[in-house]
Chain A
Amino acid sequence: MTQAEGTFNRLANPTRFMGLASTILPWLTGLTAILLVAGLYLAFFVAPEDYQQGHTVKIMFIHVPFAWLAMMGYSVIAIASIGSLIWRHPMADVAAKTAAPIGACFTLLALITGSLWGKPMWGTYWVWDARLTSVLLLFFLYLGLMALWQAIEEPSRAGRAAAILAIVGSVNIPIIKFSVDWWNTLHQPASVVKLDGPAIHSSILIPLLIMAAAFTCLFFVLHLMAMRTEVLRRRVQALRLTHVDAAGATQGARA
């Protein structure tokens, strides 16, 4: 076993994870709050109006981070699913399962805020073009994963089925990213993550990056909290099963 694998295994131990999460969470929550306050202040009181979009550019400060996190959330699930299928590690399963509702919320918000930005700028709330449709598909993939976890009672079987769906569905992520280049669309092309540098002025780019950092921290705060709860849920289930088995054995012995 390499040193990196050893470190990974130690962190992936549920009891060690619970301790680590308790240490990290207060700091990460504080950082999220500071970044969010700073980002909102810059977005509303410092960032200038866009010369074409006017004040509606303020929607970008939440829409773009939500869209990034929608894709990042799914990538977290896909990577955890690979870990779950190859190493059969329960913490990879826990990470994949708990990221789904959080990713679904961010995807829903990317769709809603995009729609509310589209109406004043494009004249319509919705168009069935490649970018919008592929993000809607991402939202349905999240819902599908959540439904699968609910439908199959045994966590290890549910985990395997959800992991396969998650990995197959991950083909949608590059489609979302490159949809604005591959097909005609009302949606603007990439303006921040570009080979030749961002196409946005720093007065708008900096608040955007701070808001993106704030929501990324929020994602991980919520993910760590949900993972901790999922570990507890599995302990409760395991204890109940042990209790039922023990009670059954005692009754069997008496009979």
Chain B
Amino acid sequence: MSLFPDLGEHAGFIWMAYGVSALVLTGLVVWIRIDARRQISLLADLEAKGIRRRSAGHTQGKKAAKEK
């Protein structure tokens, strides 16, 4: 069994269809991951500056109270 099967006279169209699909979907995955990392780092920057969500602060306050 060869890695690339013989796809006959229209092989170019078939490989092109699969190639373009792989390219577009990989691009979409990369874009979504980059966007996710960017938002995570922006949120971390804000939290490092002491700017937190009220609910996050509330949860942390509860945790701190329990630890005491």
Whether B21 contacts A240 by the Cβ 8 Å rule is no
Q: How large is the interface on B (under 10, 10 to 19, 20 to 34, 35 or more residues)?
A: 20 to 34
Partner of B36, one of A55, A232, A235: A232
Interface of A is mostly: helix
Q: How large is the interface on A (under 10, 10 to 19, 20 to 34, 35 or more residues)?
A: 35 or more
* A239 touching B51 in the complex, CB below 8 Å, given contacts A222-B32, A232-B39: yes
Partner of B5, one of A44, A112, A243: A44
Residue B1 is within 8 A (CB to CB) of chain A in the complex = yes
Question: Which of chain A's residues has its CB closest to B49's CB?
Answer: A243
CA distance A117 to B35 in the complex (A): 34
Interface string of A216-233 (1 = CB under 8 A from B): 001000100110110011
CA distance A217 to B51 in the complex (A): 37
Whether A240 contacts B46 by the Cβ 8 Å rule is yes
Partner of B7, one of A58, A119, A218, A235: A58
Partner of B17, one of A117, A225, A229: A117
Whether A113 contacts B42 by the Cβ 8 Å rule is no
Residues of A within 8 A of B13 (CB): 56, 59, 116-117, 119-120
Min CB gap A254→B, angstroms: 19
CA distance A62 to B11 in the complex (A): 15
CA distance A179 to B39 in the complex (A): 42
Whether B14 contacts A45 by the Cβ 8 Å rule is no
Nearest 6 Cβ contacts at the A-B interface? A232-B39, A120-B10, A229-B36, A55-B7, A113-B17, A116-B17
Chain B interface (Cβ < 8 Å from any Cβ of A): 1, 5, 7-11, 13-14, 16-18, 20-21, 24-25, 28-29, 31-33, 35-36, 39-40, 42-43, 46, 51-53, 55
